[in-house]
Structure 1
């Protein structure tokens, strides 16, 4: 079918082929891969979506052969048209309750998907605008809470600076040094650092003052680091994706 004179695109379900690489090689040999595209299924029934890891694994296989591949994200506002008892129409099960712009960012950050579609019929204007914004950025926005007591100048510093993690990735923290400098940061809330807490080194840290860290596993207090906020639960994968100096990122209160 791919070897047709009209350049009609034949689309197949990315994850439903029993032996996808063998199929690709057969099309390569007897058909025309330029007319072959794939797209992951969407799953209206709760608890039937794919894992993020499997979705990426299949996408990488197709991408390695230059085959375009699509995937679906869910709307949190759309009517449940495809399944009245379901929540969201997406490919990745974990994205069923994830804000659309965050699901979009997670998938886009892999550089493996040629198109990312809404599975739900009527996403609202706010969701469309949020996804469009995410698509336009050259950095990742990580959703966070920041302490109400955080100094206004420090709030601006940590939300307006484009950050990049260090390539020498520590075991327990993600380090961003772009905010370093003598900023007269007094020790404050130098408390227990739970996983995905956000800290800012204070003046006791000497030349490290101003360094921003995201904590990757629970750590005890240290007098040199103020806890200034927390990554939101649905932002955790984004943190993992920006490790090892992989992608620029900013913290975004939402």
Structure 2
């Protein structure tokens, strides 16, 4: 399956008209997935009226062509008068049931054989052996997916190393994976008075496009969903514009960058060599395609820091025009052979970890 982007809606906190407007805008920008939930108000006295609002909006999304995910647990299903073993969910506009309360592995596997066309989603954030146990019971793997939690409360988001370990358990079975980013504007969430809803704690203070790049460029997450609503129009547009496959990294240019240096920065041939070193990301293609460039020594930098973008100048004729991205602070400008042309935006410095051997990438101004 392709890499996709999605939104969340919480119709019980808004109106159908506003949900419809938000869904229509998202669809026009290329969003394919809609997430919503019943479980956070299942015990409320007005549960029935809230449920009706959710079902009206999610049915509209489903009919408009979105892949719709409904977050439930056993009590929510009872209120719907539905069963994942026997029921059809297309009549209420649901493509996928996300079970917040874990079932037994055998029950999950059995439910995938329900002849009705809906999928089942499993919580990925516990980093347990549930998915391995489900696979042992021979499920219809194509009807299974994994999705991380979002974490409204500050400092409760997953650390990246733990996130990676949890992902491996799903990726080895070729299970489709999803995770969340947070809007800085959306005030509607399952957790009242909380705002950003990211999966990773490192995402919480970042712009929405930088959050998404961490997920996509890890090559471990296929679908990125905005956890809270409504995201601003600018945020929706920024996320929609993120390249989901080619790693595009934003840089800030230094003053005085020459025409020849700019041509190298904008090259479409950047990739990290297979025989990597620990000091910098080395892009050699410009050395071939820009070998006639005049790259006079500029600046008096004696050392560079992580994230600096540097180009080999005329003082080293053999390697002239190679572009390097520094990985270590206090990297020496040996014999003055480098010109610094800019630096990776601080919001995207984590993306350097994803420029592994033979990785193709682009630098965006």
Task: Calculate the TM-score normalised by the size of structure 2.
Answer: 0.62
Post-superposition offset of 1:81:
4.6
Aligned length: 249
1-side partners of 2:147 and 2:202: how far apart? 18
Contact 1:142/1:238 (<8 A) preserved: yes
Contact 2:308 2:326 (C-alpha < 8 Å) held by counterparts? yes
Partner of 1:88: 196
> Cα–Cα, structure 1 residues 80 and 154, in superposed 2: closer, same or farther, change >3 Å?
farther
RCO greater where, 1 or 2, for CA within 8 Å and sep 6 or more? 1
- Give CA deviations for 1:14-54 in whole Å, capped at 9, x if unaligned: 123743244324543xx544433321111111111112222
Q: Which residue among 154, 158, 175 is the counterpart of 2:261?
A: 154
Residues 9 and 100 of structure 1: CA distance in aligned 2, closer, same or farther (over 3 Å): same
Task: Report which stretch shifted further, 198-207 or 146-155.
Answer: 146-155
Deviation readout 1:142-169 (Å, 9 max, x if unpaired): 1211102111342243134341111110
Query: Aligned match of 1:204 in 315, 319, 331?
Result: 315
Confirm or deny that 1:169 pairs with 2:276.
Answer: yes
Shift in alpha-carbon separation, 1:17–1:198, aligned structure 2, 3 A: closer
Q: In structure 2, what is the Cα distance between the partners aligned to 1:135 and 1:224? A: 33
Gaps of 5+ in 2: 1-84, 86-110
Contact 2:186–2:232 (CA under 8 A) maintained in structure 1 = yes
Instruction: List, as ranges, runs of 4+ consecutive aligned residues in structure 1 with deviation greater than 6 Å.
Output: none
5+ unaligned residues in a row in structure 1: which ranges? Answer: none
Counterparts of residues 62-211 of structure 1 (less than 5 Å) = 62-79=170-187, 81-82=189-190, 86-135=194-243, 138-180=245-287, 181-191=291-301, 192-211=303-322
Q: Which has the larger radius of gyration?
A: 2
8 Å CA contact 1:200–1:213 kept in 2: the answer is yes
- Partner Cα distance (1:22, 1:161) in 2: 41
User: Cα gap change, 1:84/1:162 in structure 2, threshold over 3 Å: closer, same or farther?
Assistant: farther
Structure 1 residue 190: Cα displacement: 4.1
**Structure 1 residue 178: Cα displacement:** 2.0
Question: Once the 2 structures are TM-superposed, how far is the Cα of residue 63 of structure 1 from its aligned partner?
Answer: 2.3
What is the root-mean-square deviation in Å for CA atoms of aligned residues?
A: 2.3
Cα distance per residue 1:117-161 (max 9 Å; x no partner): 11121222222222222246x521112111021113422431343
Q: TM (normalized to structure 1)? A: 0.87
